[in-house]
């Protein structure tokens, strides 16, 4: 039966902070066994102390290292008796700036973590998911997957890719009895945000700052649902719909309003001097 002792189980990457940490806490509070994986060793140590070593398996993990991911999944399977009710590919990084001004290596790292790391996780976890009735393959996409966002172009591209991958796998994995879904969070107050971003965010609207526990609640709801895309906040679904129906209009709105528009104008003004 293993360390989990028959409890339902969730495997979470990026578990030491932000959305991953809050998801770990929520599922633990509801009696689940948690696998917490992250590169942040100190954060994992605090997580283990908080919820108890009997209730979790925590390990350092670089999600871009496929052999290491395979070992992590094997250790998790040994603890759960070969089961995995939810695989939550949550780990991600961001890098901001104009695409042509950013070092290629910085953009490539975003792709490796945010897309390749998700693919690796699914490849490694699918065996346990297939062995678990009602299992869910869940991934963190982003509001940046509603429309390609300037200033974070490569990040946005990876999140579009994750969204598309989820849609395809939600059909493919039916033959295994495994569901696939994702969450598209807006401005979530986590360490990935630039300094001051949450404090300077609007107080209302779809891009208000939202605590990461709201994403954790969505992961919980998704396990009992067949819904494909989860938006946090829900109003982001309207942006996704608008971007699909009138991409040129959304392009002009983004280009002419907000901080990105100001950045572009400031750079253009500097070039004219």
Active site residues: 155
Distant-in-sequence, close-in-space partners of 182: CB < 8 Å, separation ≥ 6: 138, 139, 140, 141, 162, 163, 166, 228, 229, 230
Q: Would you call the peptide bond into 233 cis, given omega within 30 degrees of 0 as the criterion? A: yes
Strand 136-140 to 179-185 pairing: parallel
State the DSSP H helix or E strand holding residue 171, giving kind and residue range, or none if neither.
helix 153-172
Q: What angle do CA 6, 19, 80 make, to 5 degrees?
A: 15
Q: Look at residue 181 and give its three-state secondary structure.
A: strand
In the sheet with 179-185, reading across from the earlier edge strand, the strands are 56-60, 33-38, 9-13, 86-89, 136-140, 179-185, 229-232
On whether the CB atoms of residues 24 and 47 are closer than 8 A, the answer is yes
- For residue 239, CA distances in Å to 172, 184, 235 come to 27, 11, 7
Rounded distance between C-alpha atoms, residue 1 and residue 232, angstroms: 36
């Amino acid at each position: 039966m293993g360390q989990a002792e028959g409890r339902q189980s969730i495997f979470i990457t990026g578990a030491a902070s932000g959305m991953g940490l809050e998801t770990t806490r929520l599922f633990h509070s509801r009696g689940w066994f948690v696998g917490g994986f992250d590169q942040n060793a100190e954060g994992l140590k605090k997580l283990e102390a908080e919820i108890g070593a009997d209730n979790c398996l925590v390990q350092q993990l670089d999600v871009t290292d496929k052999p290491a991911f395979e070992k992590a999944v094997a250790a998790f399977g040994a603890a759960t008796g070969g089961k995995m009710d939810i695989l939550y590919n949550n780990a991600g990084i961001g890098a901001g700036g104009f695409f042509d001004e950013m070092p290629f290596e910085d953009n490539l790292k975003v792709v490796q973590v945010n897309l390749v790391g998700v693919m690796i996780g699914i490849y490694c976890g699918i065996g346990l998911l297939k062995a678990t009735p009602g299992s869910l393959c869940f991934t963190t996409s982003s509001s940046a997957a509603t429309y390609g966002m300037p200033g974070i172009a490569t990040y946005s591209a990876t999140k579009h890719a994750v969204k598309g991958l989820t849609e395809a796998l939600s059909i493919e994995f039916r033959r295994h009895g495994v569901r696939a879904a994702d969450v598209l969070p807006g401005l979530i107050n986590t360490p990935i945000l630039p300094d001051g971003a949450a404090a300077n965010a609007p107080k209302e609207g779809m891009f208000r700052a939202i605590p990461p526990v709201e994403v954790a609640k969505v992961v919980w709801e998704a396990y009992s649902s067949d819904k494909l895309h989860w938006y946090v906040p829900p109003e982001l679904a309207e942006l996704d719909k608008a971007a699909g129906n009138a991409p040129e209009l959304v392009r002009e709105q983004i280009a002419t309003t907000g901080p990105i528009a100001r950045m572009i104008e400031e750079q253009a003004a500097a070039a004219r001097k």
